[in-house]
Structure 1
Amino acid sequence: MSKEKEVLKTGQSKIKKKSRSQETWRRFRKNKLALFGMILFAVILLVTILADVIVSYDVSVTQVASERLQSPSASHWFGTDNYGRDLFARIVHGSRNSLLVGFGSVIIGVTLGGMLGAVCGYLGGRFDAIVMRVLDSIMCIPTTMLALAIVAALGTSLGNVLMAMTISSVPRYCRIIRSSVLGVTGQTYIEAAHSCGTPDFQIILKHVLPNAIGPIIVQATMAVGSAIISAAGISFVGMGIQPPAPEWGAMLNEARTYMTMYPYMVLFPGLAIGFTALSMNLMGDGLRDALDPKLKD
């Protein structure tokens, strides 16, 4: 009899979990702008994955003096830059560096900030107060300025830009996740798990974080666009990924001198940054509405 009850409970939990995900997807797909953002991001991601198939990487870094500053044409869809390099190839392959910094900094930042925020929100007390005051002092420094300072100290490279973006974003994620965890820790199932002798670390991983995952997903999705724009800003001032490696912000930096006479050099990298950030923000808005139980259809 007890086995039948366990099987019944397991089946009910699976149905509940499945129905919750289906309900989230149903509400998400009703948002036309969110669907457009998802399709747009899928196209960008597909271009990033198939970059070597679409165009060779050598085309993006090979300088051809006789083809300098050519306007968009059948042979060069987005034109060429001041070194004669194909802009279409540079934008396609530059998407890998830009998305790597954007997604990498958000994933690592959310992981570190999430664990720290969950621990602070769950334990509270003096530990929470000390950590929050330290993070408050870090948050007083603008994110981009802090990232620039870190890159200036460590040197200009893809890894250092990724590290700088991660460090500068951890305090913000920590505060967001801590606020979500504070609303969960007072629930009865947390008290029940604690009274059963479950270790604190296990409670945080199995009970606290999964029930606070909604705001985390929304913030992470929307933060990717901001991270890509910030990374492009760092490269724009010459502190990011160095040439000849293609990166959208660095391409904008190289095009500053020629933007009045050859506006296409600024237009296409700017559109790549704008469309990527737009797709992530639209998806984030859709996820926020789909995961919010207070919003009715």
Structure 2
Amino acid sequence: MHAKTDSEVTSLAASSPARSPRRPVYYVQSPSRDSHDGEKTATSFHSTPVLSPMGSPPHSHASLGHHSRESSSSRFSGSRKITPNDASRAPHGKSQKSWKQPDMIEEEGLLSEEDHHKPLPRRCYVLAFVLGFILLFSFFSLILWGASKPMKPKITMKSIKFDHLAVQAGSDATGVATDMISLSSTVKFTYRNTGTFFGVHVSSTPLDLLYSEIVIGSGEMKEFHQSRNSQRTVSVAVTGDRIALYGSGEGLSSSTGAPTIPVQLKLSFELRSRAYVLGKLVKPKFNKKIDCSLTLNPKHINATIPLTNSCTYD
């Protein structure tokens, strides 16, 4: 074996690069502009090896510079895009600060709305309920009143019968001489309640029998209650005892005391009806003024005189 010269060693080293000693490897880590780019920086740290200046060829520096510019630009653009994952990885203080302000504004808005829309006191609701009930009840009562008004009672005069009639000479309470008349009769009429949902209470003024505007007989009708959609026949006794006629009874007197000529009479009274639609709260009234004209023939004493076609109802 012979010793190798320096030129041989140099040529051997150039022809066998695999056997050259391992050069140290350096890694360059660019500073992150934002804490959200931690994950990308770690990726760049593992994917960008840089040879030391001592062992790298000249063209590797150029490629390193170009690669560094691209990686830094990509990191810069990536740092502007914040994803929900990045926000969750952000430091606790900074994330809370970025989301706390809108929450506080929204909460303050809700509080201000609650201040403007405070609930009314309970007494206001009670008062509103009472007023509403009164209005509703009044409206309902008005409807019932309007529905009951057309349902007026129907009254039909039937007849009158004179049981006794006599004219005699006499004197009044002051001692003035005059003719005196006495009579007894019975008046009949039918009363019909046409109301389909209410009963009526019926009363009347005195039934007056007049001769020449003088009341020669009167009768009181007993009050009664008529149920809904029903009718009855009412009989009222009309009597008079020693009623002074003064100068009006000249043609009526006779030796027997009975009139000898027909006598024109008038029967007048007012019938009052009060309906109870809703207890004592809704009570429509129905008043009827009745006037009947009749002629008493002396031959018709103790006979029934019809009144169907001789009466007016107002």
Q: TM-score, normalised by structure 1?
A: 0.25
Q: Tell me: higher relative CO, structure 1 or 2? Use CA pairs within 8 A at least 6 residues apart.
A: 1
Higher strand share: 2
Select the structure of larger CA radius of gyration: 2
